[in-house]
Amino acid sequence: MDQATVTRETLLESVAEGRGGDGPRTLTGCTLDGGDFSGLDLTGTTFDQCSMRQARFDGADLSRTRFLRCRGAEASFVQADFADATVSGCDFSNALFRRARLTSTRLESTKLTGADLTDAGLLGATFVEVLLSFARLPGLSFRKARLRRIDLSDADLRKCDFRAAVFEDCSLRNASLEGCRFEQADLRGADLGGIELRDARLFRGAVISRLQAAELLSQLGLEVR
């Protein structure tokens, strides 16, 4: 299906045709803006360069789907199932992923500025080059995760579990870190700008660089040589 405005009915028809023919359908350049696709079984569907601003996929089965270069600002994926899905090159700024299941989901080169991932399941999820500034991720577990080029600046990370996580070219600048756990985390590849010394106790048991230690101690007027 190419260059078309997609309704709930036409999307259902397209998916049904794919399952009765050569396999999952690919929607290219389609417009789904403002549509309600809640609860649909869209397993294996590919959305390529589609517009889905303010569309609703609440409770939809999106397992094994692929979202490629899509634009979905303020879309809603509350309680959607993204198991084994791929999200690449997309813009889902201010989208809702509350209680979504992101098991083994791969997110890469994607903008999630201001997105709400409260209570999302991230078991086995992979984040590479993802912009999560101002996003809401309270209480999520990133334990033993390898985070590469993730921007978490100004994000709500309260009570997140980063134990044994490895940060590579990431930013935690000005993020809310109350109650976070960082034991055995490698923070040498994280921008800790805006972190005050009184919050440094959160990093007990973590690995930081000499430069990061110097920046924290400089708040006491001490200089590390």
The per-residue pLDDT for 43 is: 93
Does residue 114 surpass a pLDDT of 90?
yes
CB atoms within 10 A of CB 49: 17
- pLDDT tens for 44-73 read 999 999 999 999 999 999 999 999 999 999
The per-residue pLDDT for 201 is: 77
The pTM of the whole model exceeds 0.85: yes
pLDDT classification of 190: cutoffs 50, 70, 90: very high
- pLDDT tens for 158-174 read 999 999 999 999 999 99
Which domains are present in the chain? 1-136 (2.160.20.80)
Rounded to whole angstroms, how far apart are CA atoms 73 and 200?
35
